């Protein structure tokens, strides 16, 4: 059943392009008022709608534009898979033997800093109060905490845009027409991942995946989501069967193993980047015959490392 809004609460307001216009290139003007907003840049395309929404104690103006598809479309027939993670925000392996690692160290450090600051501010806010009073008194919604949430959200939103754009550009330059992205339904849950639990749960992988999807599709790249269970455990070079969690994994056995953080050892004793093994297996799980004619997997050791934030 619908309910009345809480007293003094703020809701999102949506204006169609009949209620607001773009004037002089980058000035947003609302109908029936003298209110104007100077946009930070001159947008492309036709204004579709404007939303004004509450944003951690401030108001956020979100403008949506309808833009024509880019004239430049990808050419080729390559396929690649993306494995999203913490140490490497994206590990990519293509059917052409290309391997890329997008380093996630800066993002991880930023996220850890945020968690420490949040814990400190929450501790300050709770001094002298019973923990049971938290929800009732909104003690954890202080101005400092709202500003911290806002700062983190803006940072990661900008970072994910830059990473997703770089990935799509790299795929275009290598003739990749299909991207397979590993999907882990446990992203939204508090699962046990050892020391990486805190970083993994709060890193915005879903946001990054959605950005990759819409940017890739605009330039003609098909994006496929692939369930990724056991892709980090199976030996790509031995073509281990990759089971699906809860479906056919009761007797799952694998030829290789992780020997330490970031390294995977196959049954011959060769070492490979573990995230690239995962990406290759995601690709193989979707297209089982993709590497059937490959006998030399040394291309997995020829890695292009990309520092998005240097």
Q: Which two tokens stand for residue 193?
A: 């991942």
User: What's the pLDDT at 250?
Assistant: 86
pTM of the model: 0.86
Contact 205, 249 (CB under 8 A): no
CA distances from 18 to 21, 30, 159, 161 (A): 7, 9, 33, 29
Residue 109 parent element (H or E): helix 105-126
Q: Which of 297, 221, 271, 258 is nearest to 85 (CA)?
A: 258
Each residue's pLDDT tens digit in the chain (310 positions)? 556 666 667 789 999 999 999 988 899 998 888 888 999 888 888 999 999 999 988 999 999 999 887 877 888 889 999 999 989 999 999 999 999 999 988 999 999 999 899 989 988 888 877 767 665 556 778 899 999 999 999 999 999 999 999 999 999 999 999 999 999 865 544 334 445 555 544 789 999 999 999 999 999 999 999 999 999 999 999 999 999 988 888 888 999 999 987 899 999 999 999 999 999 999 999 999 999 999 999 999 999 999 887 6
Q: Which of 84, 82, 80 is nearest to 98 (CA)?
A: 80
User: What's the pLDDT at 200?
Assistant: 47
User: What's the pLDDT at 48?
Assistant: 93
Contact 92, 279 (CB under 8 A): yes
User: What's the pLDDT at 4?
Assistant: 65
List of residues 6+ apart from 89 with CB closer than 8 A: 102, 103, 104, 107, 163, 203, 208, 308
Q: Which two tokens stand for residue 206?
A: 């879903």
User: What's the pLDDT at 41?
Assistant: 85
Give DSSP secondary structure letters for 32-84.
TS--EEE-SS---SEEEEEEEEEETTEEEEEEEEE-PPPS----S-EEEEEEE
Q: Which of 205, 161, 213, 175 is nearest to 94 (CA)?
A: 175
CA distances from 123 to 109, 116, 130 (A): 21, 11, 12
Please count the other Cβ atoms lying within 10 Å of the Cβ belonging to residue 19. Answer: 14
């Amino acid at each position: 059943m619908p309910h009345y809004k809480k007293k003094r609460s703020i809701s999102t307001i949506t204006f169609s392009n009949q209620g607001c216009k773009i004037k002089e290139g980058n000035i947003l003007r609302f109908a029936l008022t003298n209110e104007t907003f100077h946009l930070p840049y001159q947008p492309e395309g036709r204004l579709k709608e404007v939303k004004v929404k509450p944003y951690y104690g401030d108001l956020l103006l979100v403008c949506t534009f309808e833009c024509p598809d880019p004239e430049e479309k990808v050419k080729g027939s390559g396929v690649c898979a993306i494995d999203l993670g913490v140490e490497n925000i994206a590990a990519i392996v293509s059917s052409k033997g290309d391997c890329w690692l997008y380093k996630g160290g800066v993002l991880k450090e930023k996220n850890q800093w945020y968690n420490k600051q949040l814990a400190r501010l929450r501790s300050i806010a709770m001094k002298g109060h019973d923990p049971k009073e938290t929800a009732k008194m909104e003690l954890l919604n202080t101005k400092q905490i709202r500003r911290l949430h806002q700062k983190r959200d803006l940072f990661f939103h900008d970072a994910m845009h830059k990473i997703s754009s770089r990935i799509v550009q790299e795929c275009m330059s290598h003739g990749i027409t299909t991207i397979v992205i590993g999907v882990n339904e446990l992203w939204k849950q508090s699962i046990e991942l050892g020391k990486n639990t805190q970083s993994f749960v709060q890193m915005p992988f879903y946001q990054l995946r959605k950005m990759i999807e819409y940017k890739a599709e605009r330039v003609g790249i098909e994006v496929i989501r692939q369930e990724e269970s056991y892709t980090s455990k199976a030996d790509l070079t031995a073509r281990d069967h990759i089971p699906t969690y809860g479906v056919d994994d009761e007797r799952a056995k694998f030829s290789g193993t992780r020997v330490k953080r970031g390294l995977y050892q196959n049954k011959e004793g060769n070492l490979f980047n573990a995230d690239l093994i995962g990406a290759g297996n995601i690709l193989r799980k979707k297209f089982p015959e993709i590497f059937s004619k490959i006998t030399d997997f040394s291309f997995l050791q020829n890695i292009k490392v990309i520092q998005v934030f240097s």
